[in-house]
Structure 1
Amino acid sequence: MQIPFTPLVVALLAVVAQAVFAAGLLALARRNRLPNGFLALLMLAIALWLLDSFFRVAGIYDQNANWYFAPIYYSFAFGPLLYFYVRSLINHEFRFRAGHLWHFGPVLLQTALYWGLRTQSYAARAWFWEHVHRPYTYRLEFIGIWVSLTVYLGLSLHLLR
């Protein structure tokens, strides 16, 4: 596999690598474990999301179409992770409980979709892309992510006030 090292490819690779490295450092930190854990997961989710752009710009998808629908989309986790990061940072008594898991329902559906597609043949994934994802679910996912981010950013700002 050949990767053209254009400025954009290098920049994306650097951002992904730095986000993964920083997430690792945060996850290993001894202080503020809960907030750092949420921030580490958020950074990792963003890094994986940017990995798709890297694959596209670097031509990896063009060289191996089997990488399409790699399970690297966890963008519905951005909002809840940001919210719980803020919540745990400003309230040191906060504990994440099983009752909070419903916030991650959309990302679990998103994860199931991409992992399920990953187990399908390339022909089935190509059909899904052409007949379902491109005309419908891609837009729903895009709009849903922005709605989720807006709601959770609003909740986070409310906590900060």
Structure 2
Amino acid sequence: MTVYLDLRNLFDLFCIVQGVTTAILLFVRSDRASNRWLAWLIGGLTLQVVDYFLSRSGVYYYHRWLYFSPLFFSWSFGPLLYGYVRSRAGQAVPGLRWYWVPVAVQGLFYTVLMVQSLDTKAWFWLNVHKPYTRYVDHYGTCLMVLYAIYRSRPYASERWVRILLNGLTVFYGIAVVEPLVNQAYLPPRWPRFYLTSQILPVFVYVLALIGLLYDRLQKIEKAGRLLPVSADQRRQVLDAIREQELYKDPELTLASLARHLGETPNAVSRIINGGFNQSFNEFINTYRIGEVKRRLAAGDTERLTILALAFDAGFSSKTTFNRVFKEQTGYTPKAYLKMSQITLRDDADLQESDV
């Protein structure tokens, strides 16, 4: 079998091996649901790189029966991304049953085409797929992923997840424009730009590395929770957060808290995980929500908005505040305020009746 292995194809092959290995490790060795979602996402992206490799290396040319191999499951990327972000934020992933119908249709489409004769494939490519269905496939993927990014942003509390969503937004933004530029604006004899096919292998490689890194960090964090935490260590953290009110600093991070305490970030993370059974974000947000609830009860909304109270308490994002508030109280901020006002009026009526 003749295979062209230039530097680009070798890099594609390297990224494929990295992607497959990482997907298997994350799926088999991890006990976190978010990592299994990520494993499926990396696996799907890797299959698309496999298709690029088979095309660029000449495998398709010398083995034409492989044309239309069912390697494109790109309509699954949106649901998988949404599931990953939600589960990473500690949220249950709602039923995505209907989201998988397009994925099944896409897989069946390529499977049926693959088993057709070469003449049928050639006719379908020239008359149907090249002018029509490949754009349905392409733009269907873009729309589903961009919609998933939009739905996922309220749950993107971690910096890494926000970077991932921003990177995917740029990538699929380019993917939306790329066919239009190639087909509508470039003269017939000019070279075509396929930037997304160049970026995707790099993206898979980076995503796989970060996936492994975070899996390792989660295992270290889990092991840290098993180590004993002294009362002095707990008191040191509580003094900084509760007494000095560091939680009100919107720029507070694990690293900055560690510097304030004269400890390493790993040591502070272990104290919070083991001493309070919470992650850093959960621990800080508990105090921030407590501060907002205290000021709501004090009637501060008569002169300030709820969002202003949230910002005073250390939140820097309305979306994050609303999500965390509902997670901790079971109510939206406005519903909680209304309920609190009703409760206060009822208490006042009872006191008057006692008098």
Normalized against structure 2, the TM-score is what?
0.43
What displacement does 1:3 show? 1.5
Matches within 5 A, 1:81-160: 81-91=80-90, 94=92, 99-160=95-156
> How many Å separate the matches in 2 of 1:103 and 1:62?
34
Q: Which amino acid in 2 is paired with 1:60?
A: V
Partners of 1:29 and 1:36 within 8 A in 2: no
C-alpha contact (below 8 Å) 2:79/2:96 kept by paired residues: no
Q: Contact (CA 8 Å) 1:9, 1:57: kept in 2 or not?
A: yes
The corresponding residue for 1:56 is 55
Residues 9 and 57 of structure 2 are in contact (CA less than 8 Å); yes or no, is this contact kept in structure 1? yes
CA distance in 2 between counterparts of 1:2 and 1:118 reads: 21
Aligned to 1:71: 70
Query: CA RMSD for the aligned pairs?
Result: 1.4
**How big is each residue's C-alpha offset from its partner over 1:94-137, in whole Å with a ceiling of 9 and x where there is no partner?**
256xx421112211110110111122222222221111110100
Assess if the C-alpha contact under 8 Å between 2:86 and 2:152 holds in 1: yes
Other-structure match for 1:18: 18
Separation in 1, partners of 2:84, 2:7: 33
CA distance in 2, matches of 1:148, 1:110: 13
- Which is bigger in relative contact order (C-alpha 8 A, separation at least 6)? 1
Q: 1:80·1:152 contact (CA, 8 Å) conserved in 2?
A: yes
Equivalent position SS for 1:4: coil
SS in 1 for 2:152: helix
Once residues 149 and 88 of structure 2 are traced to their aligned partners in structure 1, the CA distance between those partners, rounded to angstroms, is 15
Mark the CA change 1:144 to 1:95 in structure 2 (over 3 Å): closer, same or farther.
Answer: closer
Report the CA distance between 1:39 and its aligned residue: 0.7
Looking at structure 1, the residues matched to 146 and 12 of structure 2 have their Cα atoms a distance apart, in angstroms, of 25
Give the aligned residue type for 1:138. R
> Taking structure 1 as the reference length, what is the TM-score of the superposition?
0.91
Structure number with larger C-alpha Rg: 2
What is the alpha-carbon distance in structure 1 between the residues aligned to residue 64 and residue 85 of structure 2?
A: 39
Matched-pair identity in % = 32
The one-letter code matched in structure 2 to 1:53 is Y
Q: What secondary structure, in the 3-state scheme, does the structure 1 residue paired with 2:96 have?
A: helix
1:9 aligns with 2:9: yes
Do 1:4 and 1:58's aligned partners in 2 also have CA atoms closer than 8 Å? yes
Map 1:24-63; keep pairs closer than 5 Å: 24-32=24-32, 34-63=33-62
> Deviations for 1:34-55, whole angstroms, at most 9, x for unmatched residues?
2111111111100100111101
Aligned length: 157
